[in-house]
Every structure is written in C-alpha cells, then in structure tokens.
Structure 1
C-alpha cells in the first residue's frame, strides 16, 4: 500500500441476495482492521441480523487485495471481507461463509471445486427508466463481427480493467439478443470465482457509466429476445488429477463425474430458487433459445440443463460439466455452494446417471417427456420456493438463518409480483372485457 500510495481501502462483502456492500477506511486503520475487524450494524444489511442482535464485524481477507483501476485519482484498493459475530465466531448470515462451509466438506472428501462461468449481460442506451422497456445499445447478433463501436469498445475496456485486477478472461463476444454481450472468465477455485463475479459486476457497471451507457444483469429485459444466463462449467480435482476424467469412458466422464451430474439432476428443482432468484428469472427458463426448462443432460446438447462439453475430449484437465440454468443475477456464493452440495450428494448416495437425452427436449410432446421421465424446472418463483422449503439439502447447506431469511424474502417478492396488473393484461383483456 505504501509503494502504491493507497489513500483508501474499500472493504467489500455481500448481503444474502448478493448485493455488494462496502465501507471505506484509510491506510492508518488497516492494521486494526486485520487485528480486530471493522464493526457495523448487521440489522441494516439485508438478511444479516435482527435489530436486537445487530453488532457484526468485517474482517478483510488480505489475499483479495486489488487496486481499483477506475479510482485513479484517489488510489483506492479493495479487499473482500469475512463476517463474524463480536465473539469471533463466523456469521452464519455471511454468504461467503456459506460457500466456505461447502468447500470444506468437499475438501474433507478429497476434492477441490473449480468453476468457469459464461456471464451474459445487456448494454442499454441511457437513461434506464423504471417501467419503460430499455433501448439496446446495438442490434448485433450471436458472434457478430462488427466495426468498432460502443459495444466492442466497451468489451475491450472492460476486459482490460478485469485483467488489471488479476481476473483472467478466456474470451468475449456479442450474444444473440440486441445489446447482449458475454464475457467468459477463466476457471478458478469456487471461492475466488465468486469474488471475481462480484468484482465483474462492479467493473461492468463502472465501465458503462464511464462511457455514458448502462449495463444490466436483469435476467430477461425483453419479451421477444433471449435472456441472460450464467452457464457454469464445474469440475472436481483430487490434487492435480481431474476427478471427472476417465479416458476409457465413452463420454470421457468418470464415475464420480456421472454421480455429480446425477446429483445436479436430482436436486435441480430444490436449488433453482437460489440459482434463479428473481421473479423475472423464470421468464428466461421457458425453453426458448438456449435456456433450459426441463431437467435433462446430454453431450453437445444446448437444450439440456446439464451438458457434457466435448471440445477437448482427450485432455484430462478439460473434463467438466456445464450447468445451464443459473442466470447472472444470482448470488454466486450461495449458488456455487448449492451446486457443489447437489453434486456431492450424488457422489455420496452413488446416484445412477439417467439416460442421456439425445435430441431437443423442447420439441418433445408432454407425453414423450413423461415416458422418458423428464421433469420440469420450476415454472415460477413460487414453484421454486415450494421446492426449496422442503429441501433438507438446501437447508443444511445454507444454514438455518440464510435459509429462513431467503424464503421469507422471496415469498414477499412473489406476493408483491402477483398483485401487479401487467401491461400484457391491459393490452389483451381491457379491450375485450
């Protein structure tokens, strides 16, 4: 910090829903922050504490120190924090702690959990007006190569800023909808990646503001266009060995890998309220485009919820599975914890992987899907809440505090949503009734 003449340090953490929180301290306060933490009112943070037990402490993690490239005039750095109670015990409301607990269980089983997300988002022309459909920044399509413009300038500047913060980018491109873009982060352990995703969202917003545009992670802002997902590639390693790889298997997927996929399929309805946590998330999960609506798996099958990529089938380190249901507005700490827990449950119970679905599941008739035993993902947030509230796996992974708060918050969100009279109802019913 002295070498870089750091003037401020921002301490970052998230609430239960994944919103970033921040407090700034000067360099003189950092030694005390490492030793004793920084106290704050937990009752003012979404999902953290009740008003009569509000004192909490933020402890900065020095391994997450990075300069903020957009704060050039004030030389500002950031660190993520772990949250504790005044007695030093971890706060069970801290999403980062929820993920750490899940990773500890994987470690006890001999595994390290790696993730690699494909993060989609939209760029809009300002201003974004609540209740009014936004205007996309461009009208490009999937993988379109365009001359230099706002979108290509944005991705170049955003990737440069990410890499200056130590976040490696694998590639980027224009996505299928107008104004929609995708940036894929290079794989990392799940805790580092969850921190990286939170940083990614901040960087996208900061770069957009600096260029006079708006960035949004809303899952589906347009009725007629595909929504924004966060297809997440996952793998387990035992030391340096990829536990998902088996050269002798037809899919090059090991027994552990197959059991992990079976766990994802088995628990998919229970974890969807977290991986797709907003009422708008379910406008995306309709089977249109490449967003899944049904619980199935396949190789190179973009209609399946879980896909086994076959880009490099003979490369052991590349063996992985891709979960296609999460969207980019999830809380990554909670989402990764539940994805891991679901997969580990499949390994612990030695679940058998059902038959691969070879064709487009969306084109099957309901009778054909029933005959194949294909279940659906929850159709809306209320269905997802109902699946989650009866799940022992979700309750034990999140912990009682986060589990109860999340359910209460999401019930309130859906109750408020279902009371709203929508433009669709006014357009279709008002002239007729």
Structure 2
C-alpha cells in the first residue's frame, strides 16, 4: 500500500516532457513526447511525425504529418512529471482528413454557423479486474448496483480517481458501483462536444493509471464477461442557441428536440457502426442485460434506445443509450449530432414511441409500434453504414478508411472462429476479443 500511495501522491516539479496526443480511428490515444521547452513550437509551428503505421491513417502516404497543439487542452500529470496536450493533424499544410478530432471540430464549426452549441455528457462504465497471467479474469468484488462498503471493494480507488479528476479538467459528480461485479461508473460534468470527447480520452487514462497503481486492470471493453452486464457509454445531449436550451419546449420537449430524436432513430442502424464499432460491441447488444437493442424512444423509459430524462428548467436533454466506450468519441459525437441535425432540417417525426418495457412486448406488438432492431453484428452495422449518406458524409474522406479498417477487423474475427471451430453466431466472449479489446 505504501508503494501505491507514493505512486499516486507523488507531486513532481514542473513537467520535463510534453505528451502530444491524438487518437487513431479506434479512438485509442497515440502520440509522442517532446521536451517541455518545445511547447511553444508545438502550438505555433507544429511537430512533424511519421503517421504511416497509425490505424486508420493512409499508410505510407502519411509518412509526413504535422501535429499542432491546442493550448486550451494542456494539463499536467502530477505523478509522472509530464504534461499532456491534444491537437490537430495537418498534411501538406492542410487539415488532415483522417484526423478524428478534426472531423468533430468540423461538425462543431458547422453547428456554430447555425448559431448552435451542442453540449454532451457521458456515462462511461468500466470493470476492474485482477488478471492472473492468463485470460482467466478474477473479479475483485461481488457487488452490484449502488452497493456500498463491504461489497464495493473499489470505493477507495474511485475516490482516488475523483480526487485527481480536476487535475485533468474533469469535474466529478457521482461515484457508484454498477450492476456487474467489479463494474463501476464515475460521472463527470457535461461540456461542449469537443471538450467532452477530449475528456473521455483523459478519463480513460486516469482510471487505468490509478487502477494499475492498486495492482488492478481497468477495462472499458463493451462486454468483457459473458453472462454479465456490458460496459455502456450513454450520451446526454442538448442543443443551445443564444444562451437558450432549444430542446426545452413550452410543455415538455420542443419540436427541435423531437425532430432531433427522429433523426437519430432514422439513422440508428447506421450509427451503430460508429457508436458500437467493435466485434465485441454486439455481444453487449443482446436482450437481457439492460443494453437497448430496440429502436424506440420514450420518457423515463430505460428500455428504449432514446430516453428523455426527467428535467427542470434548462435541463431538457435526450439520452442516447446504445453507445459503448469502445467508440471513438470524436467520430461518435460527430455522427450522432449530424443525424440529429438531419432530423431537425427535415422535421423528421420520432417514431416507435413506447412507455412500456420494450423487452416484454411480443414481436407483433413491436411490429405494430414500428419498432426496429439494431444490427446484431459489426458486419451488419457496416452494411447499414454503406447505405446511409448522412453518416457517411459526416466522416468525409475518412469514411473509406473506416470501412476498410473495420471490414478487416470483422474478417480477422471470422478467420479466428473458423480456425478454432467456433460457432459463427456465438455470443460468448472469445480469447480473440479479449486480446484485441481488453485494453480499450
């Protein structure tokens, strides 16, 4: 325990190095370190690097890229003696089309032209494991939803994470044990879309670093354990214009909010490829574990894809419940926002309204309500994406990179199943998935 506390409490002097961070197509943080003295250069001129081997970039054609730091994202890591900063990537003096942060930045700029600011809050769930030198994972506690003291063995860990969150520009709000044994959630304050996407990357790093200091592994993998709840990342969204929440109507939600819901429902099957982008994501999206699979909406209804939480004053928002933490937050936010905006532009009426538990409805009842189902596999989601112009256009030229990368991922999984004589439609979590996704 002394080693743990010395690791966590260590307060370095001024940072000696600067970590320049961007994410690949999977949302995994990538980057390099430079001496802190090069910070001004990183902001004004940029730091060149070889991007040829970054997943989702253009291969050998991208051997010469430039990273320019965004000084508003600068934070210092107290126990490592380094600082971290996000930025944008350039190629030949122009914004690089496959930079996920740039894609979301372009969507934010488009909304700004409409006078709109999107605010997003997220609920990324994670498991804490003791790993025993193999993929036999030992859970460190037997707690369940909102359990305390004896059953929540990670309460000190969550408090330590929350203690350091402000250092990373995160404002902790609620800490609690989730439904699964060893599963947890720490909610942090919502922010504008780009800041929240940055915050997700920061939060994952912090959770993993603190967990490691306690001798544990933290995973945001969508479904690390067969038969146990998966990790979700619900998105709470509101749009503001001239200091006013335009989702708030005179009574209930505004027309804009309802049309925004309609847009997401219309594009939900294609959006799944972006918000649930891994083979393992679809092991979570099965009935019986709270993850929504039926394309529907309702007020306060936790079985629907979109829920309208109870609110007062300017708290009007929608909750999109299918995304998981394997999503690249920049791509996911960009795609969901543009799907919703498409609904506003075309005044798309939301369909499949239901206040009953959707899982308890029969197939005929769901058909009568017009309730569709999310894709059952990554392959099916990619086929939906290929047919959806709104979501494709949001990704721009990076769409081709995304499809190629994810198709290769699906095909690699199929080869693994065939080689090991595993049923193609298995919903069990395979060793291939653990090796590929455990460190998400």
CA distance in 1, matches of 2:84, 2:246: 34
Distance 1:204 1:177 in 2: 17
Q: Within 5 A, what are the aligned runs for 1:27-426?
A: 27-71=36-80, 75-87=81-93, 89-127=94-132, 129=134, 132-147=135-150, 150-246=153-249, 248-249=250-251, 252-310=252-310, 312=311, 315-354=312-351, 356-400=353-397, 402-421=398-417
Q: CA contact under 8 A between 1:133 and 1:221: conserved in structure 2?
A: no
* 1:9 corresponding residue in structure 2: 18
> Structure 1 residue 102: deviation in Å?
0.9
Partner of 1:431: none
RMSD value over aligned CA atoms?
1.8
Task: For 1:12 and 1:68, locate their aligned partners in 2 and report how far apart those are by CA, in whole Å.
Answer: 14
Aligned to 2:438: none
CA contact (8 A) 1:287 1:303 kept: no
1:287/1:294 contact within 8 Å kept = no
CA deviation map 1:236-290 (0-9, x unaligned): 00121101001x32xx101111010111101100110110011010011112222
Contact preservation (8 Å) 2:298, 2:355 = yes
Tell me, in whole angstroms, the C-alpha distance in 1 between the residues paired with 2:20 and 2:75: 11
Using the TM superposition, give the Cα deviation of residue 203 of structure 1 relative to its aligned residue in structure 2, in angstroms. 0.6
Give distance in 2, aligned partners of 1:424 and 1:47. Answer: 29
- Give the Cα separation in 1 of the matches to 2:176 and 2:51: 40
Q: CA deviation at 1:55?
A: 0.8
Q: Tell me if structure 1 keeps the 8 A contact 2:143–2:152.
A: no
> Equivalents in 2 of 1:197, 1:105: separation in Å?
22
CA contact (8 A) 2:71 2:85 kept: yes
Query: Contact 1:127 / 1:214 at 8 angstroms: preserved in 2?
Result: no
Matches of 2:409 and 2:155, distance apart in 1: 36
The secondary structure found in structure 1 opposite 2:164 is helix
**Distance between the aligned counterparts of 1:380 and 1:425, measured in 2?**
14
Structure 2 residue matching 1:42: 3-state secondary structure:
coil
Task: Report if the CA contact (8 A) 1:242-1:316 is conserved.
Answer: no
For 2:352 and 2:218, locate their aligned partners in 1 and report how far apart those are by CA, in whole Å: 40
Once residues 173 and 149 of structure 1 are traced to their aligned partners in structure 2, the CA distance between those partners, rounded to angstroms, is 9
Task: Please point out which of 27, 33, 56 is paired with 1:18.
Answer: 27
Runs of 4+ in 1 over 6 A off after TM superposition: none
Task: Give the TM-score taking structure 2 as reference length.
Answer: 0.90
Q: Structure 2 unaligned segments of length 5 or more: list them.
A: 1-11, 427-440
- Distance, in Å, in 1 between the alignment partners of 2:92 and 2:422 is 50
Q: Distance in 1 between matches of 2:315 and 2:159?
A: 26
Q: Aligned pairs, how many?
A: 412
Structure 1 residue 94: Cα displacement: 0.4
Residues of 2 paired with 1:285 and 1:128: CA distance?
A: 29
Distance across 2 between alignment mates of 1:26 and 1:143: 44
Distance in 1 (CA, whole Å) between partners of 2:352 and 2:280 is 31
Q: Note the C-alpha offset of 1:48.
A: 1.7
State the 1:81 CA deviation: 1.3
